[in-house]
Amino acid sequence: MRTREPGLQARRDRNDLLTGVIVGALAIGFLLFRGVNAVVSLFAAPGAITVESPLPAQEVTTRLGNGATATITSGTLVVADVSTISVVSLVVAIILSTIGLVAAAALGVATCIRLLRGHVFDQVNVRLLFALSMSLLLAWVGDVWFRNMGLNGVFAALGDEFRGQTALNLDGVSLFVAAIAVGVLVIVFRRGAALQRETEGLV
């Protein structure tokens, strides 16, 4: 099997890392825009809040052609007279989710820049990746926890009880999986840093 030339592989690695930096920077801008837009959309209706929520499965008739029956499990609710605590909780959910994701993207960019400069297995990268993993967890837990509190108040204003906790928890499970994946990288980089220190000590 033919191996790649070291120079060619190095250029490809550098291009991949540069792409990571560019994509990460663009992601930060998009996430900030999405966070601001989410807060604006929350208060889009005068005197009420607009929020997406899991719903108990129910049949509706859609306005498609002559009408078709569909089962919905989520929807956008426009609700008035929601308690202040619930509204604040919904805003905090958006803020924590945005902060967590922006921090994760920024830490990813910082890690790529350090790798471009030749710093691979060292404690700084270990700490950066650990912080990235925790940021993803913050984005997931903060969003789920406070959105759940907010939706409890939304359904209370409607005279009902919110029963979509399971769907809410599963909604952002991809962030939890990503946090675990980055956590594995933390272990790899920590072991690499330890091996590098041992190797340097033998020289």
Residues in the chain: 203
* For the chain, domain boundaries: 6-50+81-202
Residue 151 to residues 96, 143, 144, Cα–Cα distance (Å): 16, 12, 10
- Residue 125 pLDDT > 60: yes
What does the alpha-carbon distance between residue 144 and residue 198 come to, in Å, rounded to a whole number? 43
Q: What is the pLDDT of residues 147-191, one digit of tens each?
A: 999 999 999 999 999 998 888 888 888 999 999 999 999 998 888
SS3 string of 95-135?
Answer: HHHHHHHHHHHHHHHHHHHHHHCCCCCCHHHHHHHHHHHHH
Q: Does the global pTM surpass 0.85?
A: yes
Mean pLDDT, the chain, integer: 89
Look up residue 130 and give its two tokens: 């650990």
Q: Which residue has the higher pLDDT, 120 or 200?
A: 120
What does the alpha-carbon distance between residue 192 and residue 184 come to, in Å, rounded to a whole number? 12
Residue 4 to residues 8, 37, 66, 130, 147, Cα–Cα distance (Å): 7, 46, 61, 32, 50
E-only strand ranges, the chain: 48-62, 68-80
Q: What is the pLDDT of residues 26-58, one digit of tens each?
A: 999 999 999 999 999 999 999 999 999 998 888
Confidence label for 3 from pLDDT (cuts 50, 70 and 90): low
What does the alpha-carbon distance between residue 203 and residue 199 come to, in Å, rounded to a whole number? 7
The predicted structure's pLDDT at residue 200: 62
The predicted structure's pLDDT at residue 201: 55
Q: What is the pLDDT of residues 53-97, one digit of tens each?
A: 998 888 988 888 888 899 998 999 999 999 999 999 999 999 999
The predicted structure's pLDDT at residue 11: 84
